[in-house]
Amino acid sequence: MQQETVGQSSSFKIASKLQDYKLLIKFNLSFMVVFSAVISYLLAPKVTEYDWKAIVLFFAGGMLVTGSANAINQVVEKDTDALMKRTAKRPIASGRMSVMEGWAFAIISGIVGVLILWHFNFLTAALGAFSLFLYAFIYTPLKKVSSISVLIGAIPGALPCLIGWTAGNDDLGAGGWALFAIQFFWQFPHFWAIAWIAHKDYSAAGFKLLPSEAGPTKYSAIQAIIYSLLLLPVGVLPYFLGISGMISLFIVALANVFMIMQCVRLYREMTVQAARRVMFSSYIYLPVVLLALLIDKIKV
């Protein structure tokens, strides 16, 4: 009986530790980021068939690099995270994981992840390392300085598309930049909706993330509309560059109009509920657009 109790206790500790590491790398966010990288890899013209070993390897490298960046973010912001209700239960902020353990994980996973990306080519590894550095050491501390941090953060947020393209095509071609642009502009209404919802928490922690210093204002809503409008011309680029066909062009256009409508609704209603609709719409938008492009990929 005692051995059974000890075994159950050990299993619980292992499960608890795994859950902490899942929170440390922000698994859901990391998965979404790497998903866009993998789809961009598959959209590259030189990728003519699915090599599942390469896909899994690329996914693993991407998850390690992204997880490293998120771990550094939590180490650096441990005191700030402890102040906010939505982040107080993170492993380092709550004290369940030491800062040293967080740094050790971040360094090891970052190095291993970049080396895995190097398996594809040096350019992919270099972009992965640059993205990690920019997110962890520039964007993260800048959040308390100015709302320009959202613009800076959108660069590593969109780089996974370019990283995926370089891994598949071995170049920084126009197609990769088109995918980068879609994800770059998508992030503004997406992130501002989150910042709108969590404004009180963010303000208490000293974060300056909305475009207006006054917080959730008409100006902030207008900015969300402007960036969602910019998705319209950017969204047609894959078609005109010969990456995808007419069907995906139609789907992407509908998705863009849908995003614009939600942002306009936010401007009219100025409520947390409207901001939440923008947030959830953005979560739907990105996979729909990327999968539509992939399914409608032009075979050359």
Are 95 and 211 part of one and the same domain? Answer: no
CA angle 214, 216, 220 (to 5 degrees): 90
* Residues forming a β-bridge with 165: none
Q: Are residues 70 and 178 in the same domain?
A: no
Which of 126, 145, 172 is at the close of a domain? Answer: 172
Predicted model pTM: 0.90
Based on the domain organization, do 296 and 197 belong to the same domain? Answer: yes
Q: How far apart are CA 184 and CA 178, in angstroms?
A: 10
Assigned domain for 141 exists: yes
Last residue of a domain, one of 172, 206, 233: 172
Total domains in the fold of the chain: 2
In this structure, is residue 47 part of a structural domain?
yes
Quick check: is 6 in a domain?
no
Based on the fold, state whether residues 128 and 210 are members of the same structural domain.
no
Q: Tens of pLDDT along the chain (300 residues)? A: 555 554 556 666 787 888 888 888 898 989 999 999 999 999 999 988 889 999 999 999 999 999 999 999 999 988 888 888 888 888 888 888 889 999 999 999 999 999 999 999 999 999 999 999 999 999 988 888 888 888 999 999 999 999 999 999 999 999 999 999 999 999 999 999 999 998 888 887 788 888 877 778 899 999 999 999 999 999 999 999 999 999 999 999 999 999 999 999 999 999 999 999 999 999 999 999 999 999 998 764
Same domain, 33 and 142: yes
Q: What pLDDT does 9 receive?
A: 60
173 three-class SS: coil
Instruction: Supply the pLDDT for residue 299.
Output: 61
Ramachandran quadrant class, 95 (left: phi over 0; alpha: psi -120 to 50; beta: rest): left
What is the SS3 assignment for 244? strand
If we measure between CA atoms, which residue out of 216, 193, 187 comes closest to residue 203? 216
In a shared domain, residues 195 and 55: no
Same domain? 231 vs 293: yes
Domain of residue 259, CATH code? 1.20.120
Give me the domain span that covers residue 196: 174-300
Residue 1 resides in a domain: no
Query: Does residue 166 share a domain with residue 30?
Result: yes
Domain boundary among 172, 194, 220: 172
Nearest-10 Cα torsion for 207, 208, 214, 217: -100
Task: Tell me, yes or no, whether 125 and 34 share the same domain.
Answer: yes
The CATH number of whichever domain residue 28 belongs to comes to 1.10.357.140
Q: 51 with 98, same domain?
A: yes
The answer on 195 and 124 residing in a single domain is no
Kindly state whether residues 28 and 166 are assigned to the same domain.
yes
pLDDT of residue 77: 86
Output 200-205 pairs: Cβ under 8 A, ≥24 positions apart: 201/83, 201/84, 201/85, 201/86, 201/87, 202/84, 204/83, 204/84, 205/80, 205/81, 205/83, 205/84
Whether residue 263 lies inside any domain: the answer is yes
